[in-house]
A = this chain, B = another copy of it.
Amino acid sequence: MPQGKPEHVPDDGLTTRQRRTQQVLAVHTGTGKGKSTAAFGMALRAWSVGWSIAVFQFVKSPKWKVGEESALRTLGESGKGGAVTWHKMGEGWSWLARPGDERDHAAEAAEGWAQIKRDLASSAYQFYVLDEFTYPMHWGWIDVEDVVNTLRERPPTQHVVITGRYAAPALVDAADLVTEMTKIKHPMDAGRKGQRGIEW
C-alpha cells in the first residue's frame, strides 16, 4: 500500500532521519493466526538490509517452527543478508550445554530472558524475535516490569518483536507497534486438522 504520512510531526527535537532510525518494539498479540508468522516475515526484511537477527523461541513445542527455522538459517548461511542465530527454550538454549539437566520450564524461561538482557546490554544483535514471549510473562515466570524497563533502556539500535496472546498492558504501553490478530475463521472449526506446510 502507499507509504503513509504521519498525521503530525512530534516536537521531539529529532530530525526525520533520526526518527527513521529509531528502534522499534513491536508486539503481535490476539487469539488469531499470524502472530509469529508475521514476526518471521519481518525478519525477512531485517535480513535483507543486513541486520543480525536472533530468534528466541519460548514455550516448548513438539514441532517448534521448523519451517521458519530452516528458512531463516538458510538465509543466514547464504551470506547475502544478515546473520541468523536461533535459540530454542529447553531443547537447550544454546548457551546452556548441560544435557540431562532437568530444569523446570519457569527456570528455563528465566534463563532465556537473562540471556536476552545480556545480549541487549551488549547490542549483540540488531533484530530480535522473542517468539511466544508473552506466555512466560503471563504465567508469572518473567517479571513484566523488568521486561518493560529493560526494553525501554536498551541501547540503540536494536529492534524487538514480541509475539503471543495476553500481552501485558505495560508491554503494550511500551511498544511502538502493536497488532492484534483476530480469528475470523479457522479450518479447525470445520473439524480440519493441522497440516504440514501450513501449520508447521
Contact = CB atoms under 8 A, between A and B. Distances in A.
Which of A51, A183, A190 has most chain B Cβ within 10 Å?
Answer: A190
Given A34-B181, A179-B34, A180-B182, A194 B71 contact: no
Which of A59, A61, A74 has most chain B Cβ within 10 Å?
Answer: A74
Contacts of A6: 188, 190-193
Interface of A: 1-10, 12, 16, 19-22, 24, 28-30, 32-34, 36-42, 44-49, 51, 59, 61-63, 66-68, 70-72, 74-75, 78, 80-81, 127, 132, 159, 172, 175-200
Given A39-B41, A46-B198, A176-B185, 20 more contacts: A3-B63, A6-B193, A21-B195, A30-B182, A33-B177, A38-B41, A40-B41, A40-B44, A44-B72, A45-B67, A45-B200, A47-B67, A74-B74, A159-B197, A172-B185, A175-B185, A177-B186, A179-B182, A179-B184, A181-B182
